[in-house]
Structure 1
Amino acid sequence: MEDIKIIIASHKKYKTADEEMYIPIQVGAEGKEKIEGYIQDNTGENISLKNPYFCELTGLYWAWKNLDADYVGLVHYRRYFTNKKKLPKTEDEKFEIVLTEKELRDKLKNVDIILPKKRNYYIESIYSHYKHTMYVEPLDETRKILEEKYPEYLEEFDKIYKKTSAHLFNMFVMKKEILNEYCEWLFDILFELEKRIDPSQYDSFHARYLGRISERLLDVWIDKNNLKYEEVKIMDMQKINWFKKGKSFLVAKLTGKRYQKSF
């Protein structure tokens, strides 16, 4: 039977899914107190020190370089896949309906990748939303890097950024050989971007632009390579203030006021 491993990216001790395929990993572990029961992302070949800029990608990099499995996935300590349509209210109840290995195996029989359902901005394109909420220079520089290093992806990049929806959150499950190809491409772009635009020039929130841009590169890579995927519902384990989130979205669009924190 093919081996499936899904890392749960977390910077702190938190309740995790019980199934054996889920592996909690402490991201940004370098120089921090070790969380017992977690794998640290500063072991083996790693980029743990880049966590303030790369977010959960330091966990992805660790999995790419060090994890031996047929399928590899990434979720977050506060965000999981679920096969259920109706979500319960309490966190404990939500943990009871996290996507199971059996459910996942059934889905992987017919597709290359499992992805979250798309986030739809409706009144904004992917590009305009980023421009209104973040510093857009890194995103523009990303296009230049693609033009120089991977010009065959440029047409897909431009198409994706005119759309109003995308697969976000850096959540997925895919075959390891596909993950290897994706990470080779992704980190080559991001490391070059980091050289060109120093993230330390921004405050701690906007310094994480490398993680955010990676979210918006996934669809570019998937569509260009014609990979077959299935979308699966995601659930936030913690309560989301959708009113505040929506208000900030509209303020950013109408006034150009950038986000200053996550919601």
Structure 2
Amino acid sequence: MKNIKFYCVTNKPVNFLNNPCYNLAWVGKNDSPPGYIKCNNGENIFYKEQYYSELTFHYWYWKNLLGSENSDDWIGFCQRRRYLVKENANQKIDINNINKNLLIEFKKEWHEFESLICNPIQILGAKKIKILKRGWKNILKDPSILFNEKKQNISFHFDMHHGYGNLDKAIMLLENEDRDDFEDYVKTNIKFNPHIMFVSKKEIIDKWFNSLFPWLERCEKKFGFENLKGYDMQRIYAYLAERYLSFWFKKYTHFKEQPWAFIEN
């Protein structure tokens, strides 16, 4: 087994973590608590935090810290309320027992894997009244969506919650080698691996960020910032990254899906 070096991104103090494998990374507007890694220095996008969420730190890490990491180390990213946990963590996890359930080691029997990503979430189950209210533009084009759950896919779900047609516009800005594959992925899947949390090694992490951030910069020219109103739209760049991560790690790495927990705090 080999320990994983985790970076936990937060905008509020985290007082319940006590594992040395976990490094706290600050994206809050207030001054950071002592010992937290700051991402408002060096090459950074801290001024975009309200739009990029935890990606604010991910970008800083890529530009300022990744180069100094050991190539053989396993590196992971989590966030204040969501953590990758051990496979035998079958109890309700909260701040009182999270430390004993945290994933901290990359097991020897996982040697064939190149990455860990979150267990997927399924996006089916919206009530028909909500589908009609938020997905009416899609239904006008294809009324069968209302009754065919296979068509209530990632693309439809994104249209409902983050602006009709926005995912399609973003896909057109991807590099050629991923454009058609990602479009097919979001139109044929009804679940995805959420939360922009993963574990991998330096080389793959660099490739991931080299694919992600230039794409998001192109998306900025399409969507901007000024008209991104409300939580569902303001953080569209983080939501795009979340769907893209689910696709990218499956296409480019030998991945393993891992349990995760949501912590009320």
Normalising by the residue count of structure 1, what TM-score does the alignment of the two structures yield?
A: 0.81
Pick the aligned partner of 2:92 from 88, 94, 98. 88
**2:34 aligned partner:** 36
Contact 1:28/1:50 (CA < 8 Å) preserved in 2?
A: no
Match of 1:47 among 45, 48, 52: 45
Match for 2:241 among 211, 214, 220?
A: 214
In 2, the alpha carbon distance for the partners of 1:87 and 1:3 equals 23
Shift of 1:136: 3.1
Determine which structure has greater relative contact order: mean sequence separation of CA pairs < 8 Å that are 6+ residues apart, divided by chain length: 2
Contact 2:89 2:101 in 1 (8 A): no
- 2:221 maps to what in 1? 195
CA distance in 2, matches of 1:15, 1:109: 33
Change (3 A) 1:91 1:190: same
Question: Between the two proteins, what is the percent identity of the paired residues?
Answer: 26
Deviation at 1:20, TM superposition (A): 1.9
- Cα distance, 1:198 vs structure 2: 1.2
What SS does the corresponding residue of 1:95 show, helix, strand or coil?
helix
Q: Is the Cα–Cα contact under 8 Å of residues 19 and 99 in structure 2 kept in the other structure?
A: no
Report Cα offsets for 1:105-157 as digits up to 9, x if no partner. Answer: 436522110111011123430011111122134312211102xxx11112211
The structure having more radius of gyration, on CA atoms, is 2
Which deviates the most, 209-218 or 196-205? 196-205
Corresponding residue to 1:135 among 138, 150, 163: 163
Counterpart secondary structure, 2:194: coil
Aligned to 1:61: 59
- Cα distance in 1, alignment partners of residues 5 and 107 from structure 2: 12
Alignment correspondent of 2:191: 165
Q: 1:114 aligns with which of 116, 128, 152?
A: 116
Alpha-carbon distance change, 58 to 105 in structure 1, aligned in 2, over 3 angstroms:
farther
Partners of 1:188 and 1:74 in 2: CA distance = 20
SS in 1 for 2:76: strand
Distance 2:108 2:226 in 1: 44
Matches within 5 A, 1:2-41: 4-29=4-29, 32-41=30-39
CA distances 1:23-62 after superposition (whole Å, capped 9, x unpaired): 1000145xx3222221111122211111111110011112
Q: 1:90 to 1:168 in 2, by over 3 A?
A: closer
AA aligned to 1:224 is: K
Contact 1:64/1:183 (8 A) holds in 2: yes
Tell me the CA shift for residue 78 of structure 1.
0.7
Between Structure 1 and Structure 2, how many residues are aligned? 231
> Which amino acid letter does the alignment assign opposite residue 103 of structure 2?
L
Q: Secondary structure at the match of 1:114?
A: strand
Task: Tell me how far apart the structure 1 counterparts of residues 16 and 77 of structure 2 sit (CA, whole Å).
Answer: 13
Question: Would you say the 8 A contact 1:52–1:208 is kept in 2?
Answer: yes
CA deviations over 1:176-221 (Å, ceiling 9, x no partner): 1101011011000001101221122122412110001000111332
The normalised TM-score by structure 2 is 0.80
